[in-house]
Amino acid sequence: MFRNICMLLLLQISITATAQQDAWVYLTDKANVASSLANPITILTQKAIDRKQQYSIAIDERDVPVNEVYISNLKTQTGITVMAKSKWFNAVHVRGTEADINALNALSYVDSIDFADKSLNSGSRDYHAQDKYDSVEVQEVFTYGSTQNQVEMINADNLHLEDFTGEGITIAVMDSGFPNVNTLGAFQRLRDNGHLLDGYDFVTRNTDVYANTTSSHGTRVLSDMAGFIQDQFVGTAPDASYYLFLTEDVSSENPVEESYWVEAAERADSLGVDIINTSLGYRVFDNSNYDYTPADMNGQVAFISKGASIAVEKGILVVVSAGNAGATTWQTVGAPADSPDVLSVGAVDANGNYVAFSSQGGAAQVGYQKPDVVARGGAAFVVDQNNTITQNNGTSFSSPILCGGIASLWQAIPDASPTEVMDYVRQSASQYTAPDDLLGYGIPDLDLARSIALSVDEDLIPEFSVYPNPVGDELNIQFPVDDISAELNIYNQLGQRILNTNVANNFNTVDVSFMAPGLFILELNSEGTTKTYKFIKR
């Protein structure tokens, strides 16, 4: 019996030694860094350079590509397959046996190795459960057709009425498959306008992003932003421009998909993309040794979450589905929705009520709120790969619905930075003053977000300071110096004066608790000068 046990142990050791592992190999340096930074057009598009200059974002060593000599050499190493690369992390995702990967430490250009199986050093996919397709027939047709509720819920329709439809904003969609986007009638407007820019399949290394028909998830996601069927279906950003990147391998659950995603984000950055939408989430893998835990969802552990944070640092607004684990023992958001730097979107139903599958905030998110906001993800309307309007459940759809709305908002406030846009969206949401782990800050009002942004611009006039904005019960008026008095008038949107009073001295508090929620104009008349400000009453 002892002999049998020994043989079993030897067999287990042998299997472990020869099993294929995934790991990130971090490299020591890059080639031609100084010359690349001196001539950034050699590593970035002009659009990317312009975007970074607009937001005062430095072009640094992370923008320089990985040394291809190192990659070529890694490919020659015994038992090693190179799966992906990341310039931001100066890392290469490899696959091989534990022994073969550890042997890479002997290479002079290898700085460190991080196995996906943490027990060897020292993810979380929720795709199959991510979206439940419950198809139903379209029953009503409105001006927006089927999408009226999901568009109006976030007040994107008011932006559209003023011709803010996402034009001039570029969105990269990271997903699992985009079959028939190049032929479907729902995307005819997109193609005719030249707004379907390009695509790439990072899983198969194929430029034909439409060839993979194993999943139509990306097609459905894209429809909620870019879809247009006359009088039947309108996405939230029908005139934005789109890159389509396939980063999810639906045949397996492996952390290499995180690396594909980071590669795609890096390409999006180099192309000058404004917004990334991703309706993917990572928690557990086929190899349980790679699994994350809810405690890992702090934005600092998962490779994809750290990559998403860098994308934001590089000037991209990243919108992420919160996940569909709300009714499971996992419960909290997955990666990369756990990053404090991204805008994570949970789901509500057509009535604005929390839906049980929507992932919640958890103990791991210390000092920041998850999800950030919510949009309709319960029985949301989408267009499938057959050009049929149907309904699907999942935060996979609340994310693009809001993402497209944000593109339309950003068109209206083009001088705002990505971080400012996210802040305006949060401030406009229905429970901004009392967020919770179910709805975050609540349902955004994107038209209100625009008003907040415009009022903030006006508050930059140095003579007076009017805050907070939005305001609750008390509005503060601060003068630049003492011994100044002013007549204060407040007008509603109809131009009716609802308050007239005098303010004096350096600091004043005005009671506005009697006012109904909405947008108001404040007028200050002092020493022959009149200043006006917009503010929001909650």
Catalytic residue among 217, 269, 341, 384: 217
Give burial (CB, 10 Å; 0-12/13-18/19+) of 29: exposed
**Separation of alpha carbons 392 and 394, rounded Å:** 7
Long-range interactions of 8-15: CB distance < 8 A, separation 24+ = none
Amino acid present at 179: P
On whether the CB atoms of residues 453 and 411 are closer than 8 A, the answer is no
pLDDT for residue 221: 98
* CATH entry 3.40.50.200 includes domain 132-454: yes
| Helix/strand/coil for 16 | helix
320: which strand partners? 278, 344
On whether the CB atoms of residues 200 and 267 are closer than 8 A, the answer is yes
Any idea what DSSP says for residue 354? B
Residues of the chain with pLDDT under 70: 1-18, 122-142, 456-464, 480-483, 493, 505-507
Can you give the C-alpha Rg of the chain in angstroms? Answer: 26
Task: List the beta strands (DSSP E) in 116-224.
Answer: 132-133, 170-175, 196-201
Q: Is 217 among the residues known to form the active site?
A: yes
DSSP string, 231-294: TTEE-S-TTSEEEEEE---TT---THHHHHHHHHHHHHHHTT-SEEEE---BBB-SSGGG---G
Say how many residues make up the chain. Answer: 538
Non-local CB neighbours of 43 within 8 Å, separated by 6+ positions: 36, 63, 64, 65, 270
Give burial (CB, 10 Å; 0-12/13-18/19+) of 69: exposed
Distance in angstroms between the alpha carbons of the first and the last residue of the chain: 76
DSSP string, 101-142: HHGGGGSTTEEEEEESSGGGT---B-STTT-EE---------
Tens digit of each residue's pLDDT (9 = 90 or more) over 33-82: 999 999 999 999 999 999 888 888 889 999 999 999 999 999 999 999 99
Any idea what DSSP says for residue 42? G
Tens digit of each residue's pLDDT (9 = 90 or more) over 22-46: 999 999 999 999 999 999 999 999 9
Tokens of 415: 């001088």
pLDDT for residue 519: 77
Tokens of 531: 């200043």
Non-local CB neighbours of 87 within 8 Å, separated by 6+ positions: 30, 62, 63, 64, 65, 66, 266
At residue 304, φ and ψ (nearest 5 deg) are -70, -35
Tens digit of each residue's pLDDT (9 = 90 or more) over 401-448: 999 999 999 999 998 999 999 999 998 999 988 899 999 999 999 998
pLDDT for residue 473: 87
**Separation of alpha carbons 209 and 182, rounded Å:** 10
CATH placement of domain 2-30+65-120:
3.30.70.80
pLDDT for residue 137: 37
Task: State the CB neighbour count (10 A cutoff) for residue 433.
Answer: 12
Instruction: Give percent of the chain above pLDDT 70.
Output: 89
DSSP string, 380-421: EEEE-TTS-EEEEESHHHHHHHHHHHHHHHHHHSTTS-HHHH
pLDDT for residue 337: 98
Q: What is the largest CA-CA distance in the chain?
A: 102
Non-local CB neighbours of 460 within 8 Å, separated by 6+ positions: none
Catalytic residue among 157, 175, 239, 249: 175
pLDDT for residue 517: 83
Laid out side by side, the sheet with 132-133 consists of 132-133, 389-393, 380-383
Class of domain 459-537: mainly beta
Of 458, 359, 459, residue with least CA distance to 399: 359
Non-local CB neighbours of 338 within 8 Å, separated by 6+ positions: 297, 298, 299, 302, 305, 332, 344, 364, 365, 370
pLDDT for residue 474: 87
pLDDT for residue 508: 77
Q: Is 175 among the residues known to form the active site?
A: yes
Q: How crowded is the C-beta side of 322, counted as CA atoms within 13 Å? A: 39
pLDDT for residue 507: 67
Domain spans of the chain? Answer: 2-30+65-120, 132-454, 459-537
